């Protein structure tokens, strides 16, 4: 069993990006600038956004954190987004999801200018992604493709089972893996909460992307020998033995599944850090378009 080390790989990617930024600066070109909008004070969202800002510092990007009250109206949030759309120094920005219930997430996603949508969530960019046209790929599926590439894990002709159909991970992942592209060309089965006989399907998988958000859902008896496992889940599970009072659990029961897997991502230190690295890559692309 080989661990797909997202932490180490993301550090390599960040080093590569830092090198690019140094070159840009030496040529007197624009420094990439990413902004992140955080609404409210959800613990996990705050952690993710802080990691994104820290990653910007690490590679020499400028960053701006826009912190807004949980109670902000949809209208006021849309105004903040318009300001970011119009700020020519900002190359790209993200609005951390989920948003409070009184705000229409789709409306917010559609308010972000597609050229600054480094999350790749705007319908224009989703459409381009689905048509295999150049665009910002959503960071988590993009990070998974990059991890597979850097470890030379072949997907062509393989049966990949994706569990979960979220717009952020499962749906784009299933599209990208099926496309005619490097680390695509897979036969993809997209499964979800209404799927019947899931275990029968996962037992046929050469690779499984678990992105359903249920801790330790996928167990050893649901997978065949030599399966490749990509664990996207990262849930805080109460654990009084830990100083913070919780531990981070993936969607995969690591102990039983890792015994059968050929490759597997750990949680934490697998997909999570790759997501952040690819957000930086998208921001670099946005900046180069603005140059």
Residues that bind ligand GUN (CB under 6 A): 94-97, 119, 139-140, 168, 275
CB of 95 to ligand GUN, least distance (A): 6
CB of 119 to ligand GUN, least distance (A): 5
CB of 162 to ligand GUN, least distance (A): 16
- Given a contact cutoff of 8 angstroms between Cβ atoms, the answer to whether 224 and 260 are in contact is yes
- In the complex with ligand GUN, which residue's Cβ is closer, 97 or 201? 97
Tokens of residue 158, six digits? 């393989």
Q: Over the Cα atoms of the chain, what is R_g? A: 19
The catalytic position among 5, 14, 52, 117 is 52
Residue 224 is a catalytic residue = no
6-26 helix and 43-59 helix, angle to the nearest 10 degrees: 50
Sign of the dihedral through C-alpha 195, 130, 148, 265:
negative
Residue 119 is a catalytic residue = yes
Q: Which residue in the shown chain puts its C-beta closest to ligand GUN?
A: 97
Query: Which residue shows structure tokens 């490759």?
Result: 263
CB of 189 to ligand GUN, least distance (A): 23
- For residue 251, the surrounding DSSP H or E stretch is none
The answer, yes or no, to whether the previous bond of 98 is cis (omega within 30 of 0) is: yes
- In the complex with ligand GUN, which residue's Cβ is closer, 202 or 275? 275
List Cβ neighbours of 264 (8 Å cut-off, separation of 6 or more).
1, 2, 3, 4, 228, 229, 231, 252, 254, 257, 258
Residue 52 is a catalytic residue = yes
* Catalytic annotation, residues: 52, 96, 119
């Amino acid at each position: 069993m080989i661990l797909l080390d997202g932490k180490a790989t993301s550090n390599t990617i960040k080093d590569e990006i830092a090198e690019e930024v140094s070159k840009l600066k030496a040529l007197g070109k624009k420094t990439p600038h990413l902004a992140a909008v955080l609404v409210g004070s959800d613990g996990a969202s705050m952690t993710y956004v802080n990691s994104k800002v820290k990653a910007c510092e690490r590679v020499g990007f400028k960053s701006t954190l826009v912190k807004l009250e949980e109670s902000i109206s949809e209208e006021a949030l849309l105004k903040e987004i318009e300001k970011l759309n119009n700020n020519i120094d900002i190359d790209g920005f993200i609005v951390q999801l989920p948003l409070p219930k009184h705000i229409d997430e789709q409306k917010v996603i559609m308010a972000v200018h597609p050229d600054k949508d480094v999350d790749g969530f705007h319908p224009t960019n989703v459409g381009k992604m689905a048509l295999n046209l150049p665009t910002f790929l959503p960071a988590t599926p993009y990070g998974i493709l990059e991890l597979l590439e850097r470890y030379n894990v072949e997907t062509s002709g393989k049966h990949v089972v994706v569990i979960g159909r979220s717009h952020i991970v499962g749906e784009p992942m299933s599209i990208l893996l099926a496309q005619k592209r490097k680390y695509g060309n897979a036969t993809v089965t997209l499964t979800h909460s209404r799927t019947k006989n899931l275990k029968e399907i996962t037992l046929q998988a050469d690779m499984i992307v678990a992105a359903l958000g249920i801790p330790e859902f996928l167990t050893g008896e649901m997978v065949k020998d030599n399966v490749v496992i990509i664990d996207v889940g990262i849930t805080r599970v109460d654990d009084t033995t830990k100083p913070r009072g919780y531990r981070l659990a993936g969607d995969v029961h690591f102990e039983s599944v890792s015994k059968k897997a050929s490759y597997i991502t750990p949680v934490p230190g697998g997909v999570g850090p790759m997501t952040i690295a690819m957000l930086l890559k998208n921001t670099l692309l946005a900046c180069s378009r603005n140059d």
